Chain A
């Protein structure tokens, strides 16, 4: 083994041009793979991150007024939703509905000292931020204990914080008045989009019901839906929902005015389709890069082995067995490609780091262009193995040929 390796290294050393050509094509293949995959993934992650908040399929149920008579009762009745209805939906549609988020909402005056502003107060339960597209940036979000204990705590928007608490170093922890009742600010949020929910307040659902909605009526119940990946399934679910709710609440299941539904199904399908298509595009780019690398490496291997027909023939005349000739060629190829492959990987990773630095500031606070460009190391290593295997296979043909060729012919080549 050591003897063979020293023979291999002597051959690599003495055939610099051949080794460098095979090496460069390997390095280039790996380099291009990492750069293309990295930029592609960066774009996908970047653009995709803008729509991440839309990745969940949400349906909002807003109580309405019946438009059809039902069981002897006239049209024009108001439908109301309360905690029993939320429990009913949970029990009936547990497999499709992953989360049920009841909410109340109301215009109110929020103030602190001389500063005041009109705001929308939302009574919510944990998990609401995904339905309302907000992210808490300072402090904490509304949690289960807040709801359980009717705490007078609130999460306010960044703009409200600057309006009500201007110049205060610690907005989180201070108190504001909502409708004249003091609430402690526990968190400050930023809307995912700068144009919605800019001036709102979130408080625990139980607190808002206790203070302002003693009837216990909800203004809205938001559902997170799972597994409804086509319009047909969505329509089917709506049908079932109306039938079940109609029987439960007492209205005609064909009465679309009884409950009004707000959906993001179209957009949800568009976004999941878009992200899916782009990730397929990334795979195609990666595979093309890999194939071009294999073609380059294979070509060089093919030529370099053909180039050695005479030398390999002579080795056979000197007593080399077929196996030892093939082992020599393949070991030499693998060692060359391993060394240069890692050079290419390092160069690719280095380049992507630089590109990441250069693109870090691109886009706006609201819209990302590039995300992380790191390519998974496992993908890189698998690609490297594939590349080397490609080179070996490309070299194997001519190597086998060289051993099968008549010796007299090989010596005359």
Chain B
């Protein structure tokens, strides 16, 4: 599903920053993988490249069998919309849209009409246990609830993979576990490929495979 071959990434600047120094990584469909590393190790950059949010310089990246390189911006938008669901540390909900509208947003960009996308959004809110809060604005929801809305939004795209960048970074231990349980359930029940970037050992221990990153290189790749 995800295939990195010798991927390099350098951020240009006065002092160019060589962030990824030849990453080789293969992730199969349905895997639940965590990526760990100190800050600055390149784990977020790697996740951004996986999510077609960022480009890479050398090597090859195949997503669902397709080489991700040189696509037009239009084509990139389409690939993101069709293949990938994103979950961010800071939830990244649109503040002036209620829970249902936030979940429905990616469906709007897929051209689904309003009635259908609102019905689908309600189904996914149901799935994360927040159907009763559909008309709440993000600031009327707790952190854990907001992250569950964000997960529902990621699911609404019916993605092939879910990419989560520190999904529990801003949550307390109880809600962290709720969110992790939800993500694990989605992985096992829907066979969703899932990549979670984290620096918490307690999170990575709940995944099936742990990849450690240090200074732009993979230092460890173990099955749990």
Contact = CB atoms under 8 A, between A and B. Distances in A.
Q: Bound pair: A and B?
A: yes
Interface string A1-20: 00100110011001100000
B78 interface: yes
Interface residues on B, range: 20 to 34
B74 A322 contact: yes
Contacts of A135: none
A318 B108 CA distance: 9
Interface string A310-343: 1100111111111010000000000000000000
A319 B106 contact: yes
Interface in B74-133: 74, 77-78, 80-82, 86, 88, 92, 94, 96-97, 101, 105-106, 108-110, 113-114
B54 interface: yes
A109 interface: no
B48 interface: yes
Contacts of A7: 108
A406 interface: yes
Interface in A239-273: none
B126 to A, nearest CB: 21
A3 B74 contact: no
A403 to B, nearest CB: 8
B13 to A, nearest CB: 13
Contact of B53 (A11, A15, A321, A408): A408
B170 to A, nearest CB: 15
B73 interface: yes
Contacts of B74: 321-322
Interface centre among A11, A322, A406, A407 (most CB of B within 10 A): A407
Contacts of A181: none
B105 A318 contact: yes
A411 interface: yes
Given A319-B81, A320-B77, 18 more contacts: A3-B114, A6-B114, A10-B101, A311-B94, A316-B77, A317-B53, A318-B80, A318-B105, A318-B109, A318-B153, A318-B157, A319-B82, A319-B109, A319-B110, A321-B74, A322-B74, A322-B77, A407-B53
Interface of A: 3, 6-7, 10-11, 14-15, 310-311, 314-322, 324, 403, 406-408, 411
11 contacts: A6-B114, A10-B96, A14-B96, A311-B94, A317-B51, A319-B81, A321-B77, A322-B73, A322-B77, A406-B53, A408-B48
